[in-house]
Amino acid sequence: MYTPAGFTPRHVMPEVLGAVTHAFAYRGGKILVGGSEDAPAIPSFAALAAAGVAGTPHFLGNLGDAACIALALPDDAPEPAGMRYAGLRSLFLRIPDPLLALAGRAFQVVEWDRTHRYCGRCGTPTRGKADERAKECPACGLVAYPRVSPAMMTLVTRGRELLLARSHRFVNGIYSALAGFVEPGETIEDCVRREVREEVGVEVEGITYFASQSWAFPHSLMIAYTAVYAGGDIRLEDAEIADARWFALDALPPLPPNVSIARRLIDATVARLRG
Ligand SMILES: [Zn+2]
């Protein structure tokens, strides 16, 4: 997930919406879609209003001429005829990429709305801030912004081998690059060295940026790196890791799906090593 070409972010709802709108309406963690099971469609703001679906709107900005609106629906919001609530993951490869990216953006804004209704310091109900996407406490002034959690991913190479690990959470025997959340006080590079050391007992050098990806489950910014093996033998001490091994390029295990940054990182590194 990323910022689609032609998208201009805004946070103030325009007084007049154009003819074309995209409404990303979430009830709990699920988004309201029309269309069929195989070809879901993001409804327009007018279609939701006509169906009696109402919630707290957050203006996201414009995709070309289309106004994009996130809607936080109450838990008892109705399911209009011809529409259904779907998991965001079920929309991968079924709706156009730009709309999927904006659905992920909308999810993060709506989740922030749902989880910051009261001040974290004094418990007073918060209110929206007019000049930016933020919530402010009218009693003590604490301001809360949408939360983004940086996480790193590292693919370690040793000659023409890749260090890949299988988490207990992974299905179908998939192996992937190592990953973990950044802790307070760390740089990303500190995090890369610590996570690799903690998860598999290996030291790395040559930490090199690859790419980043917004990941709306629930609010990660995944920042991907390659690194070069510098010492140590694989030791599995982290309870989260089921297995980790060095894999030769011609004997790779099942890998993550194509939509993930992990797969792009692995594919690009394999291509470079085969170079
Ligand atoms: Zn407060």
pLDDT value of position 69: 97
Cα-to-centroid distance, 14 and ligand 1 (Å): 29
Cα-to-centroid distance, 128 and ligand 1 (Å): 13
End-to-end CA distance of the chain: 28
- pTM of the predicted model, to two decimals? 0.86
Cα-to-centroid distance, 142 and ligand 1 (Å): 5
pLDDT value of position 233: 95
Cα-to-centroid distance, 126 and ligand 1 (Å): 8
Taking 50 as the pLDDT cut, the residues of the chain under it are: none
Cα-to-centroid distance, 123 and ligand 1 (Å): 6
Cα-to-centroid distance, 208 and ligand 1 (Å): 42
**Residue pLDDT, tens place only, 78-96:** 999 999 999 998 998 899 9
Cα-to-centroid distance, 217 and ligand 1 (Å): 27
**Residue pLDDT, tens place only, 165-200:** 998 887 788 999 999 999 999 999 999 999 999 999
pLDDT value of position 139: 98
